[in-house]
Amino acid sequence: MVVEIEGRWEVTDISPDGRWMVAYRSVPQPEDRPPAPETALIDVRSGELRELGGLWPTYRGWSPDGKYLWCRAWENRRDLKTYWVVVLEVPTLRVLTEVHPADIGGWIALAPWVSRSGEKVLITARDLERLWQKRTWWVADVDGGNLRELKITARDVVGWTHDDELIVKTEDNRLVRMNVETRSQDVVYTPPRQ
């Protein structure tokens, strides 16, 4: 879907309550720099556009009630050390919290995933030295409080269950249900042996 509001904006996401759209456009820069992103929140009812500056809403960034929007931000897109995650309150766009690499052991924060209940958020983080080989997962309350590392060994996180537990995929492709508070784990699927 593309929306024309003071220039060409491409809608990338709609809030779970259907009230807000997140839109993006690229703004040309001098020849030595890549295009700069501009991101905006658009009120579906009024068409009012509110720019978010250099923030980039990513992945599952909305809380289910549409009250919080998690975004990825950066100071310099060519330097991954400057990537971080921001929690915005909607519709005020007030910054509730920011999760910087220094907050998560120097890792870069990439993808925030809000839980189905809207109470927790999972942050995927990667090691700057081994960007695509090593990652960690951090969990926080949706307002950014209570940030902590999950300290799990997993190949990937599949997603949130309805009761704020995670399904993770292990190195041997088992699926494990994990309680993020107690760190208890139960195997829910073991692939057949070949």
CATH of residue 35's domain is 2.130.10.120
- Residue 184 shares a structural domain with residue 147: no
* Token code pair at residue 64: 């289910």
User: How far is it, in rounded angstroms, from Cα 171 to Cα 110?
Assistant: 21
The pLDDT score that the predictor gives to residue 35 is 67
* Token code pair at residue 65: 């009630």
* Token code pair at residue 10: 């491409």
- Residue 89 shares a structural domain with residue 162: no
The pLDDT score that the predictor gives to residue 3 is 45
- Residue 95 shares a structural domain with residue 187: no
The pLDDT score that the predictor gives to residue 129 is 66
C-alpha distances in angstroms, 58 versus 30, 85, 108, 163?
Answer: 26, 10, 14, 23
- Residue 140 shares a structural domain with residue 96: yes
What does the pLDDT profile of the chain (194 residues) look like in tens digits? 444 455 577 887 889 889 998 887 777 777 776 666 678 888 999 988 888 776 665 555 788 788 888 877 766 555 555 667 787 888 888 887 788 778 888 777 777 788 888 888 888 887 766 655 677 888 988 777 899 998 877 778 888 898 999 988 888 888 999 999 888 889 999 989 87
Question: What SS3 state is found at 130?
Answer: coil
* Token code pair at residue 63: 């809380």
Number of domains within the chain: 2
Its domain, for residue 61, covers 2-151
- Residue 127 shares a structural domain with residue 190: no
- Residue 88 shares a structural domain with residue 8: yes
CA 63-69-72 angle, to 5 degrees, is: 125
C-alpha distances in angstroms, 121 versus 47, 50, 144, 163?
Answer: 29, 24, 8, 13
- Residue 135 shares a structural domain with residue 57: yes
Q: Which is nearest to 86 in space by CA: 77, 76, 67, 99?
A: 99
- Residue 48 shares a structural domain with residue 80: yes
- Residue 16 shares a structural domain with residue 90: yes
- Residue 109 shares a structural domain with residue 65: yes
The pLDDT score that the predictor gives to residue 145 is 85
Alpha helices (runs of H) in the chain, residue ranges in sequence order: none
Whether this prediction's pTM lies above 0.85 is answered by no
C-alpha distances in angstroms, 182 versus 117, 160, 166, 188?
Answer: 18, 16, 12, 17
- Residue 144 shares a structural domain with residue 103: yes
- Residue 142 shares a structural domain with residue 166: no
